[in-house]
Amino acid sequence: MIDKPSILITSLGRTGTQFFSILFRDILPDCDSFHEPDVVQYAGVENRIKPFLNRVRNAGIYNMVFLKLIGKWSLVRLSDGRLKGELNDIEASKDLHRQRAKFIQSKKRKVYVESNIGYYGLLDLLPNVFSQHRAIFIVRDGRDWVRSTFNWGEIFGKKGGRAIFSHKWPTAKDFPDSPYAEQWQSLSRFQKICWVWSRLNQYALNTVEKNPNARVFYFEKIFSGEQKYTHLKDLIDFAVDLPGISVTQLDKTDGWLKKRVHMSSKDFPAWENWTPEHKDQFQQMCEPLMKKLGYKIE
């Protein structure tokens, strides 16, 4: 078991996970906080070298270069494999421990914080690996997530070398029982992104229910709600409710929610300006989960 107090934040991306890794680094006096330490970021050419070298320094050459190249240093592959039924619980738990135990032990500070999409399908297995942890899953209104993701351009939008070496998102073809399995190739990129929001969020939410140390938080309540700092404090209070954690700089959260990290473009419009066809496609795939989460489609 990994005994170090650990705070793990996850989602399907586009939900402020990078923001939270920076936030906890600032407000916890003795923590190592990372955003996707097992992911190579593809920024502009001028921004690629320094982030990559930082990740190599934090993760180690063996993990980030050798194991990464053969697919053995990637939590999101574990989540994807479990989602698709390729890994059972024991296999996934063992591999999660293999990927994180020595890495976390090598860090000098008392608390470990990681914000990483890779945990989305592993939340119910965390008690098998982490003896002291809090897990946070952040969900976002499907309309805003689809828009942000579509504009971001990563999911089903990569071409050339980036498409070969980057994360391969699950598709409906991986699930023979899916009504979209046979027609996947004919779906638009927009429809495929809608499918991802619905299918992967549903799986993650099911895993949250099985872990008493995990909770769901809503992106909108924290980043745009009238009581956003109250909800941010609620998230922090839940996260730090572990032995050995002391928060001495909570007052420093003032003004944090005015910051924006890793924003996407605004080329694809907001829901109000979607075409009737896009609205119908979204509702067909996403409305059941939207209703379950309490989002109203008007």
Q: Can you give the pLDDT at residue 187?
A: 97
Q: Does residue 92 belong to any structural domain of this protein?
A: yes
Task: For residues 227-252, give the mean pLDDT.
Answer: 83
Q: Can you give the pLDDT at residue 44?
A: 44
Q: Does residue 64 belong to any structural domain of this protein?
A: no
Q: Does residue 60 belong to any structural domain of this protein?
A: no
Residue 208 has pLDDT above 80, yes or no: yes
Non-local (6+) Cβ contacts of 16 within 8 A are 138, 219, 222, 223, 261
Q: Does residue 83 belong to any structural domain of this protein?
A: yes
Distance CA(24)–CA(33), nearest Å, equals 7
Q: Does residue 278 belong to any structural domain of this protein?
A: yes
Q: Can you give the pLDDT at residue 165?
A: 57
Residue 161: Cβ-neighbour burial (10 angstroms; 0-12, 13-18, 19+):
exposed
**Which residue would you say has higher pLDDT here, 39 or 42?**
39
Q: Can you give the pLDDT at residue 164?
A: 55
Q: Does residue 53 belong to any structural domain of this protein?
A: no
Band (46; pLDDT cuts 50, 70, 90): very low
Band (154; pLDDT cuts 50, 70, 90): confident
65-112 pLDDT per residue, tens: 655 655 677 999 999 999 999 999 999 999 999 999 999 999 999 999
Residue 228 has pLDDT above 60, yes or no: yes
Secondary structure in 3-state letters for the chain: CECCCEEEEECCCCCCHHHHHHHHHHHCCCEEEEECCCCCCCCCHHHHHHHHHHHHHHHCHHHHHHHHHCCCCCHHHHHHHHHCCCCCHHHHHHHHHHHHHHHHHCCCCCEEEEECHHHCCCHHHHHHCECCEEEEEEECCHHHHHHHHHHHCCCCCCCCHHHHHCCCCCCHHHCCCCCCCCCHHHCCHHHHHHHHHHHHHHHHHHHHCCCCCEEEEEHHHHHCCCCHHHHHHHHHHHHCCCCCCCCCCHHHHCCHHHCCCCCCCCCCCCHHHCCHHHHHHHHHHHHHHHHHHCCCCC
Residue 262 has pLDDT above 80, yes or no: no
Q: Does residue 256 belong to any structural domain of this protein?
A: yes
Residue 51 has pLDDT above 90, yes or no: no
Residue 279 has pLDDT above 70, yes or no: yes
Residue 61: Cβ-neighbour burial (10 angstroms; 0-12, 13-18, 19+):
exposed
**Which residue would you say has higher pLDDT here, 265 or 151?**
151
Residue 280 has pLDDT above 80, yes or no: yes
Band (240; pLDDT cuts 50, 70, 90): very high
Band (185; pLDDT cuts 50, 70, 90): very high
Neighbouring-strand partners of residue 34 = 114
Q: How many domains does the chain have?
A: 1
The region of weakest confidence among 69-83, 138-152, 164-178, 242-256 is 242-256
The region of weakest confidence among 237-241, 249-253, 293-297 is 249-253
The overall pTM is greater than 0.85: yes
Q: Can you give the pLDDT at residue 190?
A: 97
Q: What is the CA radius of gyration of the chain?
A: 19
Q: Can you give the pLDDT at residue 263?
A: 54
Domain limits for position 210: 6-39+74-293
Please report the sign of the dihedral spanned by the C-alpha atoms of residue 186, residue 190, residue 194, residue 197.
positive
Contact in structure between 297 and 287 (CB atoms under 8 Å): yes
4-27 pLDDT per residue, tens: 999 999 999 999 889 999 999 988
Q: Does residue 62 belong to any structural domain of this protein?
A: no
Q: How many residues does the chain have?
A: 298
Which CATH number goes with the domain that contains 172? 3.40.50.300
Band (250; pLDDT cuts 50, 70, 90): low
Q: Which residue has the tokens 């479990």?
A: 82
Average pLDDT, the chain: 88
